[in-house]
């Protein structure tokens, strides 16, 4: 039976994509649920949609901050290791 050696970067990329998705969907779902509940309590019909879009904006902000942090950490790691991504000549 052969054992395959998997590249860790594939799994790290899948984990990162999953983290982006969760970071985006959780605020949207929570805000929509809050809006739905408030619509039921207050007898309105627009809060669920309004809060859904507010959650989407919050999710985009979270994804942006997460991506910025990841790229900052990667750039810092390259700088510390002495490789800046340029080809030597």
- Convert 1-66 into a string of H (helix), E (strand) and C (coil): CCCCCCCHHHHHHHHHHHHHHHHHHHHHHHHHHHHHHHHHHHCCCCHHHHHHHHHHHHHHHHHHHH
- Give tens-digit pLDDT for 14-47: 999 999 999 999 999 999 999 999 999 999 999 9
Lowest mean pLDDT among 2-16, 56-70, 75-89: 75-89
Q: What are phi and psi of 35, to 5 degrees?
A: -65, -40
Rounded to whole angstroms, the Cα distance separating 62 from 26 reads 10
Q: Give the pLDDT mean for 52-62.
A: 97
- Specify the pLDDT at position 5: 66
């Amino acid at each position: 039976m052969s054992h395959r050696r998997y590249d860790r970067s594939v799994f790290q990329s899948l984990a990162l994509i999953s983290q982006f998705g969760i970071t985006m969907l959780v605020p949207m779902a929570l805000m929509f649920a809050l809006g739905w509940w408030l619509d039921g309590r207050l007898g309105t019909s627009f809060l669920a949609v309004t809060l859904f879009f507010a959650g989407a904006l919050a999710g985009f902000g979270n994804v942006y901050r997460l991506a910025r942090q990841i790229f900052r950490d990667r750039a810092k790691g390259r700088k510390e290791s002495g490789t800046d991504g340029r080809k030597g000549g």
